[in-house]
Amino acid sequence: MKLSSIFEPEPERWGYRGDPWFWRHLKRGFAGTDLPFEPQRLERLIRKEHKRLSGETLREGGTAIVPQFQHGGMSSGGISGTFWVKTGIPLLMQRLEMANAKAKQSEGDKEGEIEA
């Protein structure tokens, strides 16, 4: 099971037009990462990637513009700090907790198997 699985389904509502692009960017970035995964590390990596792409610290009330996520419209390329702090990261953390539990259970199930 891969960490990218926690990015499905996408939220129905976003803060700004760049938020779904950042979400998908993160999903692609975690496509090769196995579960279980440390929740605090996930949040640190999301914040670090936001800073790398935008030059801004991810914070509630903040807005960052990421040129590679600009695809037209007034708020094109904008990433909402409020969305990520209040909705995006908490949603991903909740999903990660459930996915980690499944991955650990799956690992435990494999340990009890008898090899032929």
For 62-113, how does the pLDDT look when each residue is reduced to its tens digit (9 = 90+)?
Answer: 999 999 998 877 778 999 999 999 999 999 999 999 999 999 888 766 655 5
- Nearest 5°: the CA angle 29, 33, 37 is 115
| Spatial separation of the C-alpha atoms in residues 15 and 37, rounded to whole Å | 26
Question: What letter represents residue 54's amino acid?
Answer: S
Cis, peptide link before residue 90, omega less than 30° from 0 = no
What are 7's two structure tokens? 């990015």
pTM of the model: 0.89
Question: What letter represents residue 26's amino acid?
Answer: L
Whether residue 31 has pLDDT greater than 70: yes
| Spatial separation of the C-alpha atoms in residues 105 and 67, rounded to whole Å | 41
